[in-house]
Amino acid sequence: MSLLVQKYGGTSVGSIERIKQVAGKIAATKRRGHEIVVVVSAMAGETNRLIALAQQISEIPAEREKDVLLASGEQVSVALMSLALKEVGVPARSYLGHQVRIETDNAYGKARILSIDSSKIVQALKAGEVVVVAGFQGVDENDNITTLGRGGSDTSAVALAAFLNASACEIYTDVEGVFTTDPGICRNARKLARVSYDEMIELASTGAKVLEIRSVEFAKKYSVPVHVRSTFSDAEGTWLVNEEESMSDVLVSGVACDKNEAKITLVRVPDRPGLAAQIFGPIADAHIVVDMIIQNASEDGTTDLTFTVPKADCKKALAIVEKTLPAVHAKGIKVDTDIAKVSVVGVGMRTHAGVAAQMFQALAREKINIQMISTSEIKISVVIGASQTDQAVRVLHDTFIEKQATV
């Protein structure tokens, strides 16, 4: 008998009908003799609805209270799923994050899982119950409720699979697996049978929201076999695996885009040692993740400093930067939220040069202006105007994946 962790995302539990459908699916798996821990997200749209409620009260809501609010979405789902399971004759028990003690640090809104006390879960499994755990939430050492960041139920599921030593973590979602790009944008996107942990980390960090990045980091660290697949079909999905030799034959394995970042520019700051530390130190202290940074020395001893942050943190970042403005002698701040990051990812880039040049040529042919560029060993990202995102994704998918460009 093997233990499976199954995670069902927002669309999969988006209505009572769907919850009943998923309960039937879980019951069938249980009849095949598996022990099952189910992790559920809030019903589709619920987390956004809750965020909007908080914003009607406060522009930058107090983080502790916001987490208490957001965690309620998953509380509804675990209860409904357990009821649906009982209704089809499967003994089930729901748990919230704090009840099974999914302990996290205290970074509200983006907390990291530190430990899970699996004793209650193991006990319930032994008693023949399906255990339904609320995704996306935990508790810090002082019993404050925390949430893990958008898409965080993926991380809850993989972490539970790691701590319980499950035989696999199945991520059930509204697409059949991980595709070469978002199938909602490009209809020629192909399902990948396997994707390496490293490629998936880059795809997730560049916007492929099919898996949340920390879930993939967790999976890699603890070698959790993760299978991404559809709730609505029995088709084999995508397995996350260690890098295989044949993978580097493929230059680019995926194209991703992200419209959730904003660009902040500090205009004409003095070009002197310590300045970047003065600006980015307080931003890091506020747990804001800065993605791309561009700075170029100029002739008159000043420079524009441009960086990107998640849109959700933009107001908070601006408030912090504004405070440092007089000390850093910047001439002003500019903000642009109308941007998108488009990236190509592939382990083949480690051994092949020229991908960047081809990428820039393809974008130039479409008259897409590049505002920022960043690269890693297996990824190239560009920031462009948001209105050209889908066009850029399609042309890059066409260039690197459909035509299998070689360099």
Closest approach, Cβ 9 to ligand ASP, in A, equals 6
Distance of CA 276 to the CA centre of its chain: 27
Check binding of 14 to ligand ASP (CB under 6 A): no
Query: Least CB distance from residue 46 to ligand ASP, whole Å?
Result: 7
Interface residue with Mg ion among 109, 151, 152, 348 (CB under 5 A) is 151
The option from ligand ASP, Mg ion, ligand ADP, none interacting with 182 (CB < 5 to 8 A, set by class) reads ligand ADP
- Is residue 207 a contact residue for ligand ASP (CB under 6 A)? no
Which is closer to ligand ADP, CB of 41 or CB of 399? 41
Nearer to ligand ASP, 178 or 279 (CB): 178
181 contributes a contact to ligand ADP by CB under 6 A: yes
In the complex, which residue's CB is closest to ligand ADP? 9
Q: Which of 57, 39, 46, 37 is nearest to 14 (CA)?
A: 46
CA–CA dist 286, 134 (Å, integer): 27
Considering the complex, what minimum distance in angstroms separates the CB of residue 154 from Mg ion? 6
Neighbours of 38 (CB within 10 A): 30
Among 47, 77, 156, 173, indicate the residue that binds ligand ADP (CB under 6 A).
Answer: 173
Question: Is 348 one of the binding residues for Mg ion (CB under 5 A)?
Answer: no
175 binds ligand ADP per the rule CB under 6 A:
yes
| Minimum gap (Å) between residue 150 Cβ and ligand ASP | 4
Contacts with ligand ASP in 153-172 (CB under 6 A)?
A: 153-154
179 binds, among Mg ion, ligand ASP, ligand ADP, none (CB under 5 to 8 A by kind): ligand ADP
What does the alpha-carbon distance between residue 34 and residue 231 come to, in Å, rounded to a whole number?
A: 18
Q: Which stretch binds Mg ion (CB under 5 A): 4-12, 281-289, 337-345, 390-398?
A: 4-12
Binding letters toward ligand ASP, positions 119-158, x by CB under 6 A: ----------------xx-------------xxxxx----
Interacting residue ranges for ligand ADP, rule: CB under 6 A: 9-12, 41, 151, 173-175, 178-179, 181-184, 208-210, 254
Contact set with ligand ASP (CB under 6 A): 9-10, 41-42, 47, 73, 135-136, 150-154
